[in-house]
Structure 1
Amino acid sequence: MRRWSPDRGQTEPLVALVAVFAVAVGLATYAGTLSSALPEAERNHARDVLPEVEAAATTNGVVDPATLRSALAAGPDGPSLAVTLSTAGERWHAGPEAPPDAETASTTVSVRVAPGAVRPGRLQVAVWR
């Protein structure tokens, strides 16, 4: 057969396309089987909500306990949300009491306890359905 034969150019691309198709189908099947065999990771919704609540309650890098009630609006629409702010001697809470099985997350923040007085504190959110 000659190098420029029209038969040679027609069969090789077809075989290559079939091989690429077979590999793609095999990978898709493998990925689908693998994803259904692995356990789903537990997602902590409180960890996702915490940055939004912190941003809503913070002004100039300081959390004012008076803003906790408005920070509840930063939470998700479906689940219930509770926000707790605490320092060494004081505690503020907004929202309903969280059940024992609620997902929680917390972070360290600066808390305005009086005009011109700022103390370290902890902002905690609890999310449940």
Structure 2
Amino acid sequence: MSRSSDRGQTDPLAALVAVAAVGLALSAYGGLLGDVLAPATPSPAPPLDSVTDDLAPAGVADPQRLAGLSVGETTHVSLAVRGRSWSVGPTPPEEGVRHARRRLPIRRANGTVDAGRIRVTVW
């Protein structure tokens, strides 16, 4: 007669192999499912980081740098601080646009720095 403690046990190596196989199968399924459900043409993401780096290389944006900023035909960049605003690029359409904005220190004309906003619109 067998003891009750011997029942229901399995070799530890077989259990580890089974757990690894299930983990690999789930990760492969998740990766393939993500590829299948991904949109065919990704929507354009506003290039906020690159524009911010161009306008504020030292961390403070200078509105005078907007004049030298090259934006595409489908990009509009604006800076705003304390009721003043500066912008470059064509006027965006009413719909079908994506916005990205961030708080950013902006140097005003009199040399002071105030908290402002940068906004990049892409369509």
TM-score category, normalised to shorter length: 0.5 to 0.7
Question: Which structure shows the higher helix fraction?
Answer: 1
CA contact 1:57–1:70 (8 Å) conserved in 2: no
Q: Distance in 2 between matches of 1:64 and 1:33?
A: 46
1:6 corresponds in structure 2 to none
The answer to whether residue 100 in structure 2 is matched with residue 102 in structure 1 is: no
1:84–1:125 Cα contact (<8 Å) kept? yes
What is the aligned-residue RMSD (CA, Å)?
A: 2.8
**TM-score, length-scaled by structure 1:** 0.60
| Count, aligned residues | 95
CA-to-aligned-CA distance 1:12-36 (integer Å, 9 cap, x gap): xxxxxxxxxxxxxxx7x96797356
The TM-score, its normalising length taken from structure 2, stands at 0.63
Aligned partner letter, 1:91: S
Counting aligned pairs with the same residue, the percent is 31
- By how many angstroms is 1:59 displaced? 3.7
Is 1:118 the counterpart of 2:117? The answer is no
| Counterparts in 2 of 1:91 and 1:34: CA distance versus 1, 3 Å | same
1:37-87 Cα deviation digits (max 9, x unpaired): 5253964511xx10000000114211111111323x2x5x6x611101001
The equivalent of 2:12 in structure 1 is none
Go from structure 1 to structure 2 and tell me whether the alpha carbon gap of 1:33 and 1:61 turns closer, same or farther (over 3 Å shift).
closer
* Alignment partner, residue 91 of structure 1: 85
In structure 1, the partner of 2:56 is 58
Name structure 1 gaps, 5 residues minimum: 1-26
Structure 2's unaligned 5+ residue stretches are 1-24
Contact 1:82–1:97 (8 Å) recurs in 2: yes
- Structure (1/2) with the larger strand percentage: 1
Q: What amino acid does structure 2 have at the position aligned with 1:107?
A: R
Q: 1:83 to 1:34 in 2, by over 3 A?
A: same
